[in-house]
Amino acid sequence: MTTTIPAPISILGFPIHPVTYASLLDLVSFFVEDGSPRQVCTANPEFLMTARRMPAFAAVLRQADIVLPDGVGLLWAAKRLGRPLPERVTGSDGIYLLAARAAQEGWRMYLLGSAPGVAERAGAELSRRHPGLIIAGSFAGSPSDEDYPGIAAGIRKAQPHILLVAYGAPRQDLWIAHHKQDLGVPVSIGVGGAFDHIVGVQRRAPHWLIRLNLEWLWRLATQPWRWRRQLDLPRFVWAVLVKKQT
């Protein structure tokens, strides 16, 4: 079992950890056993470009215990920089593997975020797929300070080993970083739109598009409001190319 966090590689000054799905699950197991509050972030090119403009988000990524390479652009950048990553590790796929391991190990999971009712439905679906999974609680709430006392009370009562937060980046990551010590949950992970994918509120790209590394195109087609965010993709490529030359 992996108990040592692998040394990250640096992409545009941000740490990206060279983990696989298998090694991530082993690290989560170690974190749960250790019990100290840990934060796992996912990252893609859009996130890194956002972090370059937002110092608070940049600080969270640099201080996270693990930053996952959730984005084919990061695999391209790492290879170009001479430090290839073993594989893409996404929150949307990882959540099912994490639920399977949690059912096996008896870990308690808490689902927080998304629209009202979605976290509850996602928990029910994960339990259906993984018999024995303990969903300790679920709640929509919001990352606002006004909602925090109620959210904290529910999480403390549930005593989860793993907290999945679906407020979208960077809000979920900032929220976890701010509250993880107070909540004391061993593993907190920002999962973006994963709950929506689980219950079918938002369809994920077909597997053939994912295999062709064109999931970004699916997101643009199904969520056209994302076009401004997608402009960060060519900016990311240019930043990596310039970095390589300097």
Judge whether residue 136 has pLDDT over 70. yes
pTM equals 0.88
Q: What is the pLDDT of residue 106?
A: 98
pLDDT tens, 58-87?
999 999 999 999 989 999 999 999 999 999
Phi, psi at residue 43, to the nearest 5°?
-145, 145
Kindly state the tokens that stand for 40: 């796992």
* Residue 218, pLDDT score: 47
Q: What is the mean pLDDT of residues 83-108?
A: 96
pLDDT score of 185 more than 70: yes
> How confident is the model at residue 204, as a pLDDT?
54
What confidence tier does 117 reach under pLDDT thresholds 50, 70, 90?
Answer: very high
Strand partners, 10: 15
The full set of domains in the chain, from first to last, is 9-199 (3.40.50)
Give residue 159's identity as a one-letter amino acid code: Q
**What is the structure's pLDDT at 228?**
60
Q: Which amino acid is at 108?
A: R
Tokens 């370059």, residue located: 52
Q: Higher model confidence: residue 246 or residue 143?
A: 143
Choice among 7-16, 35-44, 53-62, 216-225 with the minimum mean pLDDT: 216-225
What is the band of 212 on the pLDDT scale with cuts at 50, 70, 90? very low
Rounded to whole angstroms, the Cα distance separating 94 from 25 reads 9
Confidence grade of residue 211 (pLDDT, cut at 50, 70, 90): low
Is residue 215 scored above 80 in pLDDT?
no
Give the position of tokens 């590394």.
213
- H-assigned helices in 184-231: 194-199, 207-211, 215-222, 227-230
